[in-house]
Structure 1
Amino acid sequence: MARANLDAVVATIDSLLLSAYDAEQMPAAVEQIRQLFGGSKACFARVGPDLGPEDAVTTNFDPVMHQRAYEEFAEEFVSFGQTLNKVPIGQTYADHALIGEERLRASRVWREWMAPQDMYGGLGSRVLEAGPSFWFFDVQRGRNQDAFDAQDAALLERLTPIMTRVAELRRHIGFLTLQRDMARTALDTLSVGIVIADPQMRLVYANETADQFLAEPEGALGLRTGRIFARSAQDQAALKRLVAQTLAPAHDPNARRTHLQAHAAGAEGCNLSLCVLPVPPGYGLPSASPSVMIAIRPLEPAADLVAAAQQLFGLTETEAKFASALASGLSLAEAAEEQHVRISTARTHLARIFQKTGMRQQSQVAALLRGAELPVRSR
């Protein structure tokens, strides 16, 4: 076969390194390696628990064959994987020599999966091991092609350290992506809106609650051409000042004003409480692009805290209703009227609430329940 030239090898290495940071480039990188070795098919895959079709990147992708590998032929692939697991990291192997030609040719994997895809002789390398999983690369030659030789094996061995680094980076980036997705899901469950914006108020991130606040036509805040704005001109000027003040250097950070009330633009909207804070550098944003986080909460009476009061303090349903009414701003007499009981009965309930919560005043009970309310959205 014609030997790979330096330009082709360098281009393959560049493609591999690019794929480490961009998963969408991985199929192109594997295809470039296949071409470098003049193969009929190539594969970069993980072997280990909880395997799925996303764990292997192959050339000449056939979705039906890809799925069959994880369903019909899973048992044989596991057996071959156990054999492959004995190969030292970085060492190349020929599949027929490693598995045994008789054993390989007798398998369903060979007859129904490899041969139909013109996979008649493979050269591979185990590139990384982590916990119960390992990653390998395999390139195949077709029925009418020459077998791989020692020079092919030497080239693959030279490329293996790069593949190892790619696998390490992909694994690490995959973990970071999982963490990011979990964090976004967690933020979306909050009833507090969370927004990250740059100094010009361009939106960088918003959780689901913030999206809802920004989308309300008569709400206090809106989004125009990608920028957050307050619908009241006075609030808009105050918000701009607050953002600039938050990002400006200060000898005493505690002296900064961080809170602002933004007023609704109409009867259907709701006034909002805003808290503006600088985003710490540790969030991974470029230091040249400072950002602020704006926490947003509606200014409205306390929500129904009956269930929380029952679960946290062991109140009965009736006691919890009284406690929730007090937390919403009602007096004891108003709470008694709302619950259709005499004031004397209301005082009895209040005494039990004091006993169970450890409080001595109605205002303390109200503050306790408001503090106990968790900012989590009901689904």
Structure 2
Amino acid sequence: MPAPNLDTVMSAVDQLLSGAMDEEQMPAAAETLRQLFNGSKACFASVGPNPEDWVAYATNVDEALQARCFGDLAQDFVEMGFALRNIPLGQVYHDHEVYGRERLHSSRIWQEWMQPQDMHGGMACRLAENGEAFWFFDVQRGRHQEGFDREDVALLGKLYPVLRRIAEVRRHLGRVAIQRDEARGALDSLAMGIVIVDQDLRIIYANEGADEILAEPDGALSLRQGRVFARQPSDHRQFRQLVEAAAHGSRDPLGQQRSSLILRGDDRAHSLSACVMPAALSLAPAGSHSKVMIALRRLEMATDIVACSRQLFDLTETEAKFASALASGLSLTEAAAAQRVRISTARTHLARIFQKTDTRQQSQLVSLLRSADLPLRSR
């Protein structure tokens, strides 16, 4: 095969780097290499003893045959892969040199998968290991094409460092994707809304609970042009102040590292307890668009706060009932009227509750009581 010029090789490398960062570009990267080697088929793949080890980015994909690769032929591929374990990373090999031409052509993989796809002469190299699993790149020539020569082998050898790096990046990003999906699943299972925003209240992530809260037409929070807004103007001013303080890593206006407040809808049935905190510790300077996490809890989702608060904070029956009234969204005056006590008596109860719960403001107390029990959503 005529040696490709430098521009063609660099174009292939650029395509590979794009595929490293974007999985959707990987088939295009494989296609670029197929053309670079004038092959009938090319494939980046990971193979190992466990199903989670299997990944493939191939050209000229036959969907039915691809399904068999991960189905009834999977064990045959695993056994074939074991024959490659002793080949050093980066060493280019030909299929028939590893398996023997007769043994290869008598295998199910050849007869039922390779031959139907015109894969009559393969050249490959192992790229990276991950326990018993490993990544490799394979390119094939068709029945009526010439076999790979020394120049082809030399070119694949020179591309090995790039191919190895691509495999390592894809493996790392794949692991990150799994961790991300597991984390999102855990957040979705909580019976509370979790929202991550930037300092301008632009939404970055919301779990299922938050999506439901933000979609409520009369809710305490809404979404406008990608930003989170509190329905009541007075609530929104305080809400924005707490988000900005958390985004800059500074203390909030009330002197706490983690702040809570009550957000009210058009009626009490849609009031929320909101806890605002930095999404992650950061050494970034002020004004650096840090991320903020907001935990949202519907006030009507209370469990038996009276029983919980007595058990957890050693409140008296009277104190627990007063705390429950506050957690339901009542003001101090309204709670006093509901308990049929004077406002001065209510303040005395509140001071004792603050002392026992180690809180200093009503919004903190309510958030603490609301977070005493975190039930899971029914799925």
TM-score range, shorter chain: 0.7 to 0.9
Alignment partner, residue 349 of structure 1:
none
Equivalent residue runs for 1:256-335 within 5 Å: 256=256, 258-266=259-267, 269-282=269-282, 288-300=288-300, 302-303=302-303
Alignment partner, residue 352 of structure 1:
none
Q: Deviations over 1:280-316 (max 9, x none)?
A: 35599x98322322222223473159xx9xxx99xxx
Corresponding residue SS for 1:219: coil
Question: 4+ residue runs of structure 1 moved beyond 4 angstroms?
Answer: 248-254, 281-284, 325-330, 367-372
Q: Deviations over 1:314-373 (max 9, x none)?
A: xxxxxxxx9xx989959xxxxxxxxxxxxxxxxxxxxxxxxxxxxxxxx99xx9997752
Alignment partner, residue 352 of structure 2:
none
Q: CA deviation at 1:104?
A: 1.1
Contact 1:40–1:142 (Cα < 8 Å) also in 2? yes
Contact 2:252–2:259 (Cα < 8 Å) also in 1? no
The TM-score normalised by the length of structure 2 is: 0.77
Alignment partner, residue 92 of structure 2:
92
Q: CA deviation at 1:11?
A: 0.9
Q: CA deviation at 1:187?
A: 1.0
Q: Distance in 1 between matches of 2:92 and 2:135?
A: 13
Q: CA deviation at 1:276?
A: 1.8
Q: CA deviation at 1:124?
A: 0.5
Q: Distance in 2 between matches of 1:287 and 1:167?
A: 37
The TM-score normalised by the length of structure 1 is: 0.77
2:260 maps to a residue whose letter is H
2:100 maps to a residue whose letter is G
Alignment partner, residue 335 of structure 1:
none
Q: How many residues align?
A: 331
Q: Distance in 2 between matches of 1:246 and 1:75?
A: 53
Q: CA deviation at 1:52?
A: 7.1
1:136 maps to a residue whose letter is F
Contact 2:196–2:205 (Cα < 8 Å) also in 1? yes
Q: Distance in 2 between matches of 1:63 and 1:195?
A: 39
**Closer, same or farther in 2 for the Cα pair 1:263/1:252, shift >3 Å?**
closer
Root mean square deviation of aligned Cα: 3.5
Alignment partner, residue 224 of structure 1:
224
Q: CA deviation at 1:45?
A: 1.0
Structure 2, unpaired ranges of 5+? 326-355, 358-365
Structure 1, unpaired ranges of 5+? 314-321, 331-362
Q: Distance in 2 between matches of 1:194 and 1:17?
A: 34
Contact 2:193–2:213 (Cα < 8 Å) also in 1? yes
Equivalent residue runs for 1:1-379 within 5 Å: 1-51=1-51, 55-248=55-248, 250=250, 255-256=255-256, 258-266=259-267, 269-282=269-282, 288-300=288-300, 302-303=302-303, 373-379=373-379
Alignment partner, residue 349 of structure 2:
none
1:259 maps to a residue whose letter is S
**Closer, same or farther in 2 for the Cα pair 1:372/1:123, shift >3 Å?**
same
Percent identity for Structure 1 against Structure 2: 48
Q: Deviations over 1:47-80 (max 9, x none)?
A: 2023379611111010111112233433432332
**Closer, same or farther in 2 for the Cα pair 1:160/1:100, shift >3 Å?**
same
Corresponding residue SS for 1:194: strand
